Structures are given as structure tokens and as C-alpha cells.
Amino acid sequence: MPAGLSEAEARSRLLAEGPNELPSERRNSFVEGVLGVLREPMLLLLAGAAALYFVLGDVVEASILLFMVGVVFGITWVQERKTERALVALRDLTSPRANVIREGKRRRVPGHEVVRGDVVMLAEGDRVPADAVVRDATNLSVEESILTGESAPVRKVAAVHGKAPSDASPGGDALPFVFSGTLVVRGHGVVEVTATGGRTALGRVGMSLREIETERTPLEREVARAVRVVASLGALACVVLVVAYGISRGEWLEGLLAGIAFAMAILPEEMPMILAVFPALGAWRISKEGVLTRRTAAIEALGATTVLCTDKTGTLTENRMRIAELRAHGLAHAVGDDPLPEAVHEVVEFGILASQRDPFDPMEIAFHSIGVEKLSGTEHLHSSWELVREYPLEPPLLSISHVWRAPEGKRFVVAAKGAPETIVDLCHLPDEERAAVTAEVRELATKGLRVLAVARAYFEPGPLPESQHDFAFRMVGLVGLEDPIRAEVPAAVAECRGAGIRVVMITGDYAETARAVAERADFSHIDIVTGAELDALDDEALGERVRTANVYVRVIPEQKLRVVRALEAGGDVVAMTGDGVNDAPALKAAH
């Protein structure tokens, strides 16, 4: 076990490099917040009109306008402060703690105190506190959907060379890097921190947000233009009337008052009042439904949307794994509300036996969920069995085996699950059966499902073999898993289509998976563009391509941002939804 940094060195690096925190915008002071609200053109117009009415001596009209200014200001101010407080509270809740080794002793420290060079212990359920290189790993798998959009976890292996994660990117299997903010779903490991705070992959996404200017909404642009036009016409009319009055009658003061009165008469006071009050009321109303509005103007932009760009994982789908199809003994069963056929019971039974009892891995959670739902009260669940040994997933053998002892049993029961090609090898299937399994795997994959194979074996009591290959495995069946689509999505897509809004999916996942989700979401057509194809297009060609494409796959945050900007350049009003950090640049760039 490495000794790790000394406390003195850790303090020194913390002072030199700063805390391990994501970059965030400085919170506005009270005065800055007030000025920001009062800079809205319609509020300025209302306040200016109230001041002029006071000058003219019409206290009642002036008071009414000032009252409306106060109402709009109050609603907007309270709503924006409420949103800011909620976002800060959410950020505090997500700050992880870390188990580090310093001076040879294991310590638990706040995540913001982790520094470059720290040795961190990771276990199931831990959030990775910083970018790091893996020094030791036992069956370590990490879910990186926050960065990649892929719901399936990826394996991690110990590094042969000490290359820093800044030279690598999230995603991909059997890599020796872990990234800040991702979740350990299986196994444990020891990692050495190579980047913290804004220097992590997560932090670099945050830093890129500072370079993106918040887009003004169509209404903001039109209101600003209308205010300029109305104010110019009023001022011009006032000047003309004052000059005419002064020259013809010689009463310049009377002319000034007459000019101001005429300007106020042509000023539509109701328009700025309506345009200022109703967006604020809209923000207040949707807050009752749990929707936080950071900018009141976004309410109008949402109503003017022509293109809705959406992430896949966690937005269109539930960001969990569910067993969608089971295959055994020539039977293909799509899992639904009906009971499972007896022929596929063993597939679920041995899939559960090859999983942890209390799993974090989403695929293993899926096995347990279907077992509880479909097999409760049957002889296929074995809560009293004792786990004797676990054979972890170790390349090139992409399978996991568990050896169990039943209380009344005279021999060991062995359950294995893993990549279909690995399980086929463990079962030593003849060529004909191997080809049949391969065809079934290909068929499941074309449906966008992730495929696992399950096998079983029995072993007489005695010393257990060192390798999974020494068990006499028999193939049990295949399992197709999916990240299920949210129940309300097809209706929402149809409603958008009816409102003239084109729905576009942008994801880091694979084309087959995205196509299956688009079909289940009832997209009107499916036109797929890959991240590699995006890179090959210049801005002009991309502008043409985004007119018809509605599914973008294997894209990174910078490419999502480029798609949004290309749509905006073509005249579309773009809304963006997403729940991952990989969506953040595109979210900010959208209207």
C-alpha cells in the first residue's frame, strides 16, 4: 500500500493549486441583482413614464405605474433569488468526500481538500473526487454517463504507464483512468490524483461555459427595438411640438410641458406593463410545478421554440438498466407485465447468482429487480446460500463467476455471466451452436439492447480451480438490457410535433441504441449523424445538414455546442434539455 502524500505537502499543494472545486460564476451582490432586474427595457420604460407623469403633476397615473414596476420587480427578484439558492444547495449536496492515504494512514477528507498526488481508495458507491490514474483495480467498473451520456458502466484496469487523464477522454472500456464526478458501481481500486478542480475533465466543461455568451431571446431583442423606436418617436414629437409652440407663441416652458404631454399620449403604457408582468407571472406559476427559472425572459423563448434538442440518457430515458428480453432453449421472451415462461426462469436465477447481493452495478440491479418482481416465492431465489468464491472480470476473460454452497447441497453451484463471446468460450460450444448464439446476439444488438450471456456449472466439494475455464459450464441463455424510455416521452414528442417544434436527439451513445430510443419515442423520421461525420463538415455544410438530421450519436460536449449554434445560425429558436455535465455548453448556448 502506498504511503501517499505527507500532510505538509497536501497543505502546500492545496494553497498553491486551490481547492478541488468546479469553477462557478461569482454570485451577484444585492445591489448588482437589483440593477440587473431594473435594466430590463420594459421596466425602464415604465419607470420613465412614471417619472414624466410626476413632472406633469398626474400623481395617480404615476403611482399606478410605479406600483406595477414594484410588482414586476418583486416577482422577478424573489424568483431569481429562490432559483440561485436552490442551485447552490444542490451544488453543496453533490460535494463528495474521499478516502485518501496520507503518511501511510487512511483518512476521510472533504472532496474539496483532495490535491494532485493524493492516493485515493475507491469502492462501490463512491463518487470519484478528481481525475486520476488507476494504480490498482479489482473488478472496478465506473458509470460515466455524467460525461459521456452512456448509461452502461465501463471497466477500469491498473495503469502500465503513468499517463495523465488529461491525455485521455471519458468512455471506452479497460482504460486506466477515472474522472471527477463519475460513480463507482462495482469493485474497488486505488488511484492517484492527477488533476483537480478546473483542470479535470468536468472542470474543463465548466471553464468552457465562461466563453459562451447567454443568447438574448427573440422577445428581448424585439422589446429593445420597440423601446428604442417608441422613445425616439416620443422624443422627436416632443421636440417638434416644443419648437413649434415656442416659435409661434414664445412660451417655451408651456411648449415643453405640452411636448411632454403629447409624448406621453402616444406612449402605449399598457404594452410595457403587459410584457413585463406576464413573463414574471409565468415564472412564478411554473415554479409551483418544481421548475426553476433562472432568467424570466426564458419563459417567452420557450414559447417561441422551433427546435428542441434533447439528451438521451436521463432525459428521454430513465438512466437505469432494465431487462427487456430473455432467450433460452430457442424461446425469445419480451419482458412485460405477463409472468415469465418457465423456460427462462434459469436465466434470471443464474444471472442473480452471478451478481452481488447488494449491487451498485445497474445491470446487476436489473437482475435483482426482475427476480423480485417475477420470481418471488419460487425455488429460483436463494437468499440462504453462501458465497464461497468470486472470480472477478479480468481481461481477456470478460466474465464474472460466483461459486455458491447451498445449506442442503452436496456440491458447489457456479453461476457465470459476461460478454456472449466469453461465455460461449467457457461453455466450449460446437461451431453450429456458436453460430446460432452469435446470430441471436446480433439480432438483440440491432434492437439497441446490451447483451449478456449466462451459464451454470456444478463442482464437487474440494479445492476450487484457479481459473473459470476449469469449470464445466453449460449455456443457460441470453439477456438483453435497455435503458427504458420514459413513459411520457412519446406523447411529449407528439405534442411538440403538433406545436411545430422539431425534436432532435444529441447523445454520446452508439447509433443502434439511439435509433432504438428514437423509434420508441415515435420520432417522425430518423436521420443519424455521427460525431466523426460532424468533424468532417465545415460550418456551411453543417448548416445544411442540421436542417434534416434529428439524431446525433457519439458526440462530445463541443460538438453538441456546434450543432446548437448551427441551428441558431439557420434562424431556429433552440431549446436544449439535458441532465449531464456533457450537456452544459449546449444548454447555455441555446436560447
- The answer to whether 504 touches 550, Cβ cutoff 8 Å, is yes
- The answer to whether 80 touches 280, Cβ cutoff 8 Å, is no
Residue closest to 513 by CA, chosen among 143, 152, 144 = 152
Q: How far apart are CA 365 and CA 370, in angstroms?
A: 9
Q: Enumerate residues 6+ apart whose C-beta is below 8 A from 334.
A: 324, 325
Biggest alpha carbon–alpha carbon distance for the chain: 119
- Reduce the secondary structure of 261-294 to three states and give it as a string: HHHHHHCCCHHHHHHHHHHHHHHHHHHCCCCCCC
The residue annotated as part of the active site, out of 118, 131, 136, 311, is 311
Q: How far apart are CA 185 and CA 178, in angstroms?
A: 13
Q: How far apart are CA 212 and CA 77, in angstroms?
A: 24
| Other CB atoms within 10 A of residue 558 CB | 15
Side-chain half-sphere exposure of 148, counting CA atoms within 13 A: 22
Q: How far apart are CA 189 and CA 469, in angstroms?
A: 25
- The answer to whether 480 touches 447, Cβ cutoff 8 Å, is yes
Q: How far apart are CA 463 and CA 589, in angstroms?
A: 62
Q: Residue 553 phi/psi, 5° resolution?
A: -125, 155
105 forms bridges with which residues in the sheet? 102
- Reduce the secondary structure of 446-479 to three states and give it as a string: HCCCEEEEEEEEEECCCCCCCCHHHCCCEEEEEE
Q: How far apart are CA 177 and CA 134, in angstroms?
A: 6
**Edge-first strand listing for the sheet containing 528-530:** 528-530, 551-553, 502-506, 307-310, 574-577
Residue 311 annotated as catalytic: yes
Side-chain half-sphere exposure of 306, counting CA atoms within 13 A: 11
Q: How far apart are CA 5 and CA 524, in angstroms?
A: 57
Q: Are strands 551-553 and 528-530 parallel, antiparallel or unpaired?
A: parallel
Catalytic positions: 311
